[in-house]
Amino acid sequence: MKIGIVGLGFVGLSLTSVLASKGYDVVGIDTDKEKCKKINDFKIPFFEPDLEKTLKNGFRKKLTITDNFISLKDCDIIFITVGTPQKSNGEIQLSMIKNATQEIGKIIKNSKKTPIIFLKSTVIPGVAQNTVSRILEKFSGKKAGREFGLVSNPEFLQETTAIRDTKFPHVVILGGNRTKFMDKAKKFLSKLHPGVPIIVTNHQTAEIIKYANNSFLATKISFINQLSNICQNIPGANVDDVASAIGLDPRIGKLFLNAGPGYGGSCLPKDVKAIMNFSSKAGVSPTFLSAVEKINQQQIENILKIIKNTCGSIKNKKITVLGLAFKPHTDDIRDSISLKIIKELLKNQAKITVHDPMAIENTRTKFKDKITYENSISLALKDSNCCIIMTAWPEYSKIQNKILKNMKNKIVIDSRRILKNSKLDCTYIALGIGK
Ligand SMILES: NC(=O)c1ccc[n+]([C@@H]2O[C@H](COP(=O)([O-])OP(=O)(O)OC[C@H]3O[C@@H](n4cnc5c(N)ncnc54)[C@H](O)[C@@H]3O)[C@@H](O)[C@H]2O)c1
């Protein structure tokens, strides 16, 4: 069985590596020639734990990486994993999906195979049927459900655990018509993921399941962040104890209850905005999700207010931002809250110095020489008027008085509470802990 994967980002490259390492004959395709070259040279274009090892393992078996769609010709299965970035009004951009689908259509036109095409990219309800299926039919001259299969198969992996999540997903969603292709899709995925629940539904339900999932996760985060703000105004109250307690209630669950500066990353902000946009168009005012999003936005304002209240005027003050990646153990800064805070601080003419164990180079491409970059925490803190911990990197939890001693004003604002048990000789403000 030959498998093609179109779009080699976090989702596509993780899937390519896992399938190739399992011994499938795999071709990974991306229109970015430079990216393909890097992958072929074993240089992973982004950091993801275990990806390099899994990819190398795949290359020892039967794996091809190319920008040439012709390699899809003899594929039995094709996964679409291209990006669906956000437009300024919150809608998703479908240009990559449309381009990839056209190319796939042209290839299957002349193929003797009757492939199953899995749509893994996150798309709003209706895209599989109204866009992808129609383009495939138009460019292949073949009929969906008869000469090729189309199955919506949303992805739930998390960056930093992408390989593990690709190997062991918590669920497999298959959306589409109940044809022979759906039976084959189910057979293939139950062999790949033995014991994992498989939910077979139609396209549009599969599409909305992905948004339901991510908007619920965003809801949990905004919920605990609102609680965190309440706790901060109750002397002695601690949001972590609240989260631990309610998390033990099986109806609530303990995950995604870690209060902080708000949700960021390439998925939650984009997906919440996309479903809100879709909801409005469908005639349902997204009242609830608007509040989720508003609370996320307010967290940035809260942090700025704390900085201003503690430092006074921040014009020309050196503010150190520790942590740029949207979460630890990644270099991904897409929609990271740190970057939003930095933009606001720059508007207030603060002088920004940043540190991150992995994400400095990505951040440099955004802010260039508008801010200062340091590879050492001590240097980042030297002569600083205020330090704000944004990402819960383990190295920040080891900060001690001797590292703080060269700060001009020893003010530490800890949005992750990772220093809450340290005895620090400084003004220490932790989000979610009442003074
Ligand atoms: N990153 C995540 O954690 C995650 C998790 C679940 C779902 N998703 C969804 O999966 C999809 C992919 O996300 P990602 O983070 O892997 O994206 P990404 O931006 O990291 O990668 C997308 C890749 O697609 C390539 N591409 C664009 N147009 C192409 C075309 N026409 N043909 C071939 N390749 C093309 C790009 O060059 C890029 O390498 C998105 O819809 C996203 O919302 C992402």
**Over the stretch 176-187, which tens digit does the pLDDT of each residue have?**
999 999 999 999
Residue 20, pLDDT > 90, answer yes
Tell me if residue 14 falls in helix, strand or coil.
Answer: helix
Ligand 1 centroid vs 37 CA: distance in angstroms? 17
User: For ligand 1, atom 15, which residue shows the shortest CA distance?
Assistant: 10
> With a 6 A CB cut-off, is 407 part of the ligand 1 pocket?
no
pLDDT at 327: 96
Tell me the catalytic residues. Answer: 267
Q: How far does the centroid of ligand 1 lie from the alpha carbon of residue 80, in Å?
A: 9
pLDDT for res 169: 98
Q: What is the mean pLDDT of residues 251-277?
A: 97
Nearest alpha carbon to residue 384 among 404, 414, 363:
404
Cα separation, 269 vs 115, in Å, equals 34
Q: Atom of ligand 1 at shortest distance to CA of 154?
A: 7
Cβ(81) – ligand 1 distance below 6 Å: yes
Looking only at the bridges linking them, the beta strands covering 63-66 and 25-29 are parallel
242: confidence class by pLDDT, cuts 50, 70, 90: very high
178 neighbors 209 (Cβ within 8 angstroms)? no
Burial class of residue 232 (count of CB atoms within 10 Å of its CB; 0-12, 13-18, 19+): buried
For the four alpha carbons of 117, 123, 125 and 131, in that order, the dihedral sign comes to: negative
Residue 435 scores a pLDDT above 90: no
Number of H helices, E strands in the chain: 16, 14
Ligand 1 atom 10 nearest Cα: 121
Q: Is the CB of 78 under 6 A from ligand 1?
A: no
**Does residue 113 register a pLDDT over 90?**
yes
CA of 42 to the centre of ligand 1 (A): 19
Once rounded to an integer, what is the mean pLDDT over residues 408-431?
A: 96
Q: Which CATH class is domain 217-430?
A: alpha beta
Please report, to the nearest 10 degrees, the dihedral formed by the alpha carbons of residues 65, 71, 74, 78 taken in order: 60
Confidence of residue 213 (pLDDT cuts 50, 70, 90): very high
pLDDT of residue 95 exceeding 90: yes
Q: How far does the centroid of ligand 1 lie from the alpha carbon of residue 188, in Å?
A: 23
Of all protein residues, the one whose alpha carbon is nearest to atom 31 of ligand 1 is: 100
Distances (CA, A) of 29 to 13, 63, 65, 70, 202: 9, 11, 6, 10, 27
For the chain, percent of residues with pLDDT exceeding 70: 100
Give the mean pLDDT of 102-110. Answer: 97
Structure-token pair, residue 419: 């220093």
Domain ranges of the chain: 2-201, 217-430
Q: Residue 152 above 90 pLDDT?
A: yes
Q: Is the CB of 92 under 6 A from ligand 1?
A: no
Q: Which of 18, 29, 82, 166 to mutate to test the pocket of ligand 1 (most atoms within 8 A of CB)?
A: 82
Q: 2-201 and 217-430 share one CATH topology?
A: yes
* Closest to 357 in 3D by CA, of 390, 338, 331: 331
| Domain spanning 2-201, CATH class | alpha beta
- Integer Cα distance of 272 and 233 in angstroms: 28
7: Cβ below 6 Å to ligand 1? Answer: yes
| Cα gap 136→115, rounded to integer Å | 12
> Cα of 320 to ligand 1 centre, how many Å?
32
CA gap 289, 266 in Å, rounded: 18
Give the residue among 191, 195, 189, 157 at the shortest CA–CA distance from 174.
189
Tokens found for residue 45: 């274009």
User: Does the CB atom of residue 159 touch ligand 1 within 6 A?
Assistant: yes
Query: Residue 99: what pLDDT?
Result: 98
127 lines ligand 1 (CB under 6 A): no
- Give the residue among 219, 359, 188 at the shortest CA–CA distance from 286: 219
pTM of the model: 0.96
